[in-house]
C-alpha cells in the first residue's frame, strides 16, 4: 500500500535522462508555470507539479529546504544524533521541531514509509552504492531524486564536485526555486549571500598576506579534509585564506599527515561536529601531541578556529561562515 501511494505521488515527477518518462497518474491539473525542467548533476529533471512529500538527508540539505520556506513540502528529514548540536544551534531550529525527524540513517524503508515523492540527498550524503541506496534504486520504486550539487560525481571514479562550492549552493537554490515555484525567494537569498561574501573580500587590504589554511575534519591515522570542490575551500578563500589542498580535484577526501606537514599551514580550521567525542578540544590536543604536526606554524602559534559542521557542508550557513572566518583572519593581520 505504501509503495502504491509513493508511486502515485512520484507520478507528479517526470524524470528525463535516458529518454525515460514517468507518466502523470495523479489525474490532477498541471499548475500554472509547470512543468519545469532543471539540470541536476548533468541530468535533466522535469517536474509536473511541486513535490509535496520530500525526504531530506543531512543537516545542510535540510536547512536548504527550510531557508527557502519549504518545510510544508517535506514528509520529514533524516539526521543522526551526532548532528543534534547543529540542530540546536540552527537558525531553523523551530522548523526542525515541526517537521518529522524520520530516522538517523536513510534507507529505502524510511523513504517508502514516509510516502516520499522526492528524496534530496547526495553522494556520501546518503546516496551510496555500498548500501544500495542510490537514485537508480529509488527510481525503481517510483521515487525521484534530487542530488546535492556539491556532491555530484565529476567523472573521475567516485570523486565529487563539478563546480566551485558556492556556485553549487546557488545552483541548488535556483533549481529548488524552480522546482517548488519559489524562484523569487531563491534569487533574493542568493543576492543576500553574494553580498555577505563580497563584503568580506572587499575588506581585505590589498597586498596583505594570504595565510595557508588546513581544514581538519577528523582522522588520526590519515586526516579527512576539504579539497577544492568542498564547501570549506571557498569559505577559506573568500575569507582571505588559501586552502592548502585546493589542488586536489575532489570534495571531502582523505590526505596524508606528511602532506599537511610539508604544506605548513598557518591556520587550522576545525570542523566542529558538536559532540562530546571528537570535540574541538580533543582535536586541538591531538594536533598538539602528534609528532611533526605539532611543529607546523598553525599548531605552534595556537591558530585554531572552529566552525560547525552545518556551516561547512553546502547549505545556507555558508555565507555567514565566510563572515565569521574572515573576521578571524582579519584579527591575525592586526
What's phi and psi for 60, nearest 5 deg? -65, -40
| pTM tops 0.75 | yes
Q: Give the distance from CA 159 to its chain's centroid.
A: 15
Cell of 2: 505504501
d(CA 192, CA 118): 28
Q: Is the pLDDT of residue 307 over 70?
A: yes
Fold match flag (2-147 vs 205-333): yes
Helical H segments across the chain, by residue range: 2-10, 59-67, 84-88, 93-98, 108-113, 135-140, 165-180, 183-202, 231-238, 257-263, 280-289, 297-300, 309-312, 318-333
Q: Is the pLDDT of residue 15 over 50?
A: no
Cell of 200: 568580506
CB of 150 closer than 8 Å to CB of 312 = no
CATH classification code of 205-333: 3.40.50.1980
How does pLDDT run across 281-290, given as a tens digit for each residue? 999 999 999 9
* 3-class state of residue 71 by DSSP: helix
pLDDT of 20 reads 27
Q: Is the pLDDT of residue 124 over 80?
A: yes
Local confidence band at 314 (pLDDT 50, 70, 90 cut-offs): very high
pLDDT of 277 reads 60
d(CA 59, CA 114): 18
pLDDT of 6 reads 41
Q: Indicate the helix (H) or strand (E) that contains 252.
A: strand 252-254
pLDDT of 154 reads 87
Tell me the CATH class for 2-147: alpha beta
pLDDT of 27 reads 52
pLDDT of 218 reads 94
Better-scored residue on pLDDT, 273 or 5 = 273
Angstrom distances, CA of residue 289 to CA of 257, 282, 292, 316: 13, 11, 9, 35
Instruction: Fill in the DSSP letter of residue 125.
Output: B
Q: Indicate the helix (H) or strand (E) that contains 36.
A: strand 36-40
CA angle centred on 283, ends 232 and 266, rounded to 5°: 55
What are the residue boundaries of the structural domains of the chain, listed by start? 2-147, 205-333
d(CA 10, CA 116): 8
How does pLDDT run across 128-165, given as a tens digit for each residue? 999 999 999 999 999 999 999 999 998 888 889 999 99
Local confidence band at 22 (pLDDT 50, 70, 90 cut-offs): very low
Better-scored residue on pLDDT, 156 or 10 = 156
Cβ-Cβ contacts under 8 Å for 319 (sequence gap 6 or more): 192, 193, 196, 197
Q: Is the pLDDT of residue 196 over 70?
A: yes
Instruction: Fill in the DSSP letter of residue 190.
Output: H
Local confidence band at 3 (pLDDT 50, 70, 90 cut-offs): very low
* Weakest-pLDDT range from 106-110, 132-136, 272-276, 309-313: 272-276
Report, in this order, helix, strand and coil percent for the chain, each rounded to 5: 40, 20, 40
**Per residue in 99-115, is it b (16+ CB within 10 Å) or e — as a string?**
beebbeebebebbbbbb
pLDDT of 49 reads 94
* Weakest-pLDDT range from 10-14, 53-57, 76-80, 178-182: 10-14
Residue 247, sorted as left (phi over 0), alpha (psi -120 to 50) or beta, turns out to be alpha
**318-333 helix and 231-238 helix, angle to the nearest 10 degrees:** 40
How does pLDDT run across 30-75, given as a tens digit for each residue? 899 899 999 999 999 999 999 999 999 999 999 999 999 999 999 9
CB of 161 closer than 8 Å to CB of 154 = yes
d(CA 126, CA 276): 24
Q: Is 256 exposed, middle or buried (0-12, 13-18, 19+ CB in 10 A)?
A: exposed
pLDDT of 287 reads 98
* Neighbouring-strand partners of residue 225: 253
Question: What is the CB-side half-sphere exposure of residue 29 using CA atoms within 13 A?
Answer: 3
Average pLDDT, the chain: 91
Cell of 327: 573576521
Amino acid at each position: 500500500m505504501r509503495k502504491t501511494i509513493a508511486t502515485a505521488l512520484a507520478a507528479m515527477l517526470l524524470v528525463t535522462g535516458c529518454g525515460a518518462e514517468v507518466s502523470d497518474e495523479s489525474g490532477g491539473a498541471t499548475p500554472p508555470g509547470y512543468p519545469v525542467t532543471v539540470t541536476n548533476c548533468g541530468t535533466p529533471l522535469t517536474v509536473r507539479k511541486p513535490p509535496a512529500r520530500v525526504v531530506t538527508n543531512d543537516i545542510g540539505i535540510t536547512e536548504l529546504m527550510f531557508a527557502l520556506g519549504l518545510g510544508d513540502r517535506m514528509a520529514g528529514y533524516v539526521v543522526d544524533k551526532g548532528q543534534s548540536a547543529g540542530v540546536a544551534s540552527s537558525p531553523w531550529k523551530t522548523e526542525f521541531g515541526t517537521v518529522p525527524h524520520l530516522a538517523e540513517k536513510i534507507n529505502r524503508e524510511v523513504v517508502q514509509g514516509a510516502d516520499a515523492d522526492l528524496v534530496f540527498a547526495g553522494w556520501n550524503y546518503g546516496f551510496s552504492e555500498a548500501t544500495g541506496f542510490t537514485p537508480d534504486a529509488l527510481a525503481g520504486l517510483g521515487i525521484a531524486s534530487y542530488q546535492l550539487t556539491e556532491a555530484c560525481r565529476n567523472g573521475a571514479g567516485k570523486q565529487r564536485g563539478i563546480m566551485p562550492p558556492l556556485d553549487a549552493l546557488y545552483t541548488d537554490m535556483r533549481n529548488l526555486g524552480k522546482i517548488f515555484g519559489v524562484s523569487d525567494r531563491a534569487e533574493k537569498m542568493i543576492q543576500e549571500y553574494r553580498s555577505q561574501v563580497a563584503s568580506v573580500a572587499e575588506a581585505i587590504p590589498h597586498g596583505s598576506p594570504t595565510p595557508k589554511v588546513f581544514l581538519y575534519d577528523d582522522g588520526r591515522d590519515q586526516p579527512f579534509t576539504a579539497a577544492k570542490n568542498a564547501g570549506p575551500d571557498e569559505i577559506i578563500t573568500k575569507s582571505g585564506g588559501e586552502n592548502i589542498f585546493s589542488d586536489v580535484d575532489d570534495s571531502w577526501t582523505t590526505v596524508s599527515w606528511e602532506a599537511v606537514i610539508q604544506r605548513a599551514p598557518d591556520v587550522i580550521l576545525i570542523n566542529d561536529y558538536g559532540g562530546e567525542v571528537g570535540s574541538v578540544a580533543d582535536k586541538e590536543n591531538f594536533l598538539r601531541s602528534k609528532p611533526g604536526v605539532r611543529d607546523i606554524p598553525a599548531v605552534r602559534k595556537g591558530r585554531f578556529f572552529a566552525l560547525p559542521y552545518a556551516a561547512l557542508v553546502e547549505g545556507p550557513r555558508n555565507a555567514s561562515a565566510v563572515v565569521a572566518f574572515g573576521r578571524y583572519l582579519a584579527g591575525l593581520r592586526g
